Amino acid sequence: MASSAAEVGPVESNGSKKRAPDGERGSYRFKNKKNKTGNILTTTGSNEEVLLADVQTLLKKHTLEDSSTDAENGKSESSLPERLSEVEVTVAEISSTGDGLALSPDSKHVYVVPFTAPGDVVKAKIFKHTPNHHYSLADLIKVEKPSPHRDDSLIKCPYFASCSGCQFQMLPYQYQLAHKKTIVEKAYQQFSNLTPGIVPPVGDTIGSPLQYEYRTKLTPHFDGPPDSRRSDGRKGIKRSFKEVPPIGFMKKGTRITIDIEDCPIGTEAVRKGMKSERKRVANQIDTYRKGATILLREDTKRIAKSEFNAEEAKESAEKNGAVIEDRGDYIHEKTCITDQNGKSTEYIDNFAFINPAGAFFQNNNSILPTFTSYIRDHILPPDQPDHKIKNLIDAYSGSGLFTITLSSLFTHSLGIDISPSSIESAVSNARLNGLPESQANFIAADAANLFASIESNADETVVVIDPPRKGCDESFLRQLLRYSPARVIYVSCNVHTQARDVGVLVGGMKDVDGGFGPGNGVYEIESLRGFDFFPQTGHVEGVAVLRRNAAEDKADTKGNEAAGS
């Protein structure tokens, strides 16, 4: 390990989570939430909304032809099975949330069953009905008849189908990639409000070079003492553990932490760190009064082969659990950091990034060279060597991933992030990679107000946006439309909010004039594609490339005209 237990402890949290009345079922993720978006952004892209959209689409597909016949025969929706009863169902498809969707015999209700594949005949136990939305949530009890798509010999984790982390270990990888393409397609069909002809075909999902041992960061946790309460701190009560609690991740669909000794999607260094930290916590459990989250972050030391000492590397491996990897001209020595305030180093091709170990950075290093190369190949107009673009604005820049890896294509690159600590890391990373301030600089500002100080000509500018899962807010989209840069690259970890936002950029926003008249859209979609940053899971990263509409009706646009919101 790269940090000692004496110096570093997990981040402590409040006591153990309260159990539901049945002692098993916690607050499931599919719960009603208030829509906190404004009038224009009518979806939050939450799992609840995405699941409901998929359920409605499936029901519509299967009930339109039967509705008139049912009415003639006086049929109505069958009564639902009792809660906690078991049903046998056939899975029709996988939702964009990663769960299987199975139709009731009358095709008027859907059972949501995790860890299933299309064609599986399964026994499932119902734990929640949502009759107003015509679906029920269920646990997988048994696969009665496996689908041709299912191959259980592919499963590498003994906790699969219990742990909430992975959904697809039983599916061949090419099938996973094909499914994730449909996630992007459905996102734009259901959430963009664009007509089908406006949305181009989605490209095939680009896969991860590693399907296991790819995650460079894991955060297992353990709950507080069973008798702890949230009010303990206020009342000055100090609880203690009578035994080592489960250390791991949540059981699917519950708030119960299950004990997980190893996670095969973590890198080898992270898995070694997990083993070491579990042992340390067990040895020191009497010093804890609360639950805690454990940080496991991979750190890489790059050594030129000419300077590599095999004996020293062997000693490091024995002492720190280091993993030695041959990377051509270099040797990578990888260790696991557990200190939230420690620094971790990652390499993407020849770019180096040093960040606080607890800070956000993409967790699958194996796909980052391909990913950044794709952005690089698509950020400028294709087949237009005489283009005028020379400026890059990287909104939501974080520690500088895009600003730094793309900077050689531009005269000037500007990264903007709301977090001063991220900007500090970005500035340091830029200098680490030999980029002077004149070529790449960074400012801390809320993305909703970032265009207020932009002076570069919009015709000569590309904007890259990589917002959090909630997507962009209306103020940001309003400013972006008014500024109307020549191109926009929208990277997203939530393709549903991406589809929503792209729909605004393409379809327009009321009373906002980006040069084509108030309320008119400014962009057309050049390409859409997914990237599989998280194999074995239902997540897909989306990249949308937008180009400004033809310039005949475009007014001359300067950056300073977009100031304000």
DSSP 440-501: EEEEE--GGGGGGG--S-GGGEEEEE---TT---HHHHHHHHHH--SEEEEEES-HHHHHHH
Instruction: Indicate the burial class of 517 (C-beta count within 10 angstroms; 0-12, 13-18, 19 or more).
Output: exposed
The pair of structure tokens assigned to 464 is: 């890259």
Is the Cα torsion angle 355, 357, 361, 367 positive or negative in sign?
Answer: positive
Rounded to whole angstroms, the Cα distance separating 210 from 192 reads: 32
Contacts of 434 (CB under 8 A, 6+ apart): none
Q: Any bridge partners for residue 492, and if so which?
A: 542
Rounded to whole angstroms, the Cα distance separating 64 from 84 reads: 30
Residue 511 in marked binding region: no
Instruction: Indicate the burial class of 318 (C-beta count within 10 angstroms; 0-12, 13-18, 19 or more).
Output: exposed
List 157, 166, 336, 493, catalytic entry: 493
Axis crossing angle, helix 474-483 with helix 495-507, rounded to the nearest 10: 40
Q: How far is CA 555 from CA 238, 307, 313, 482, in A?
A: 67, 58, 62, 11
263 counts as catalytic: no
The candidate with the shortest Cα–Cα distance to 443, out of 465, 460, 427, 467, is 427
Residue 394 in marked binding region: no
Residue 417 in marked binding region: yes
Residue 188 in marked binding region: no
Contacts of 96 (CB under 8 A, 6+ apart): 50, 51, 53, 54, 182, 183, 186, 187, 496, 538
Active site residues: 493
State the binding site for S-adenosyl-L-methionine.
Answer: 362, 396, 417, 466
State the binding site.
Answer: 362, 396, 417, 466
